[in-house]
Chain A
Amino acid sequence: MTGTGTVSRRGIVTGAAALLATPRASRASPFEEALKAFAGEAVPRAGRVSIDVPPISESGNSVPITILVESPMTATDHVKTIVVLAEKNPHPQIARFHLSPRAGKAQVSTTIRLATSQRVTVLAGMSDGSVWSGEKDVVVTLSACVDGG
Chain B
Amino acid sequence: MRLPASLAALLLILPAATAAEIRPGRDFLSPELRALQEDEARHPGMLWVEQGEEVWRRTPALDKPSCAGCHGDAAGTMRGVATRYPMVDRASGRLLNLELRIEQCRMERQGQPAFGYESPELLALTAYIAYQSRSLPMTVRIDGAAAPFFDAGRAFFHERQGQLNLACSQCHDDNAGRRLRGDVISNGVGTGFPAYRLEWNAVGSLHRRLRACSLGVRAVQFDYGSPDYLNLELYLAWRARGLPMEAPAVRR
Contact = CB atoms under 8 A, between A and B. Distances in A.
A147 B221 contact: no
A149 B252 contact: no
Interface residues of A, number: 16
Interface string A117-149: 000000000000000000000000111111111
Interface string A37-61: 0000000000000000010011101
B36 A143 contact: no
A142 B208 CA distance: 20
Nearest to B250: A62
Contact of B182 (A54, A142, A147): A142
B68 interface: no
B212 A148 contact: yes
Interface residues of B, number: 23
Contact of A141 (B10, B182, B201, B216): B182
Contacts of B36: 64
Contacts, number: 58
Given A142-B181, A143-B182, A148 B252 contact: no
Contact of A58 (B10, B42, B252): B252
Contacts of B213: 145
Interface of B: 10, 30, 32-33, 36, 42, 180-183, 197-201, 208, 211-213, 215-216, 221, 252
8 contacts: A58-B33, A61-B199, A143-B252, A144-B180, A145-B183, A145-B212, A145-B213, A147-B200
Interface of A: 54, 57-59, 61-62, 64, 141-149
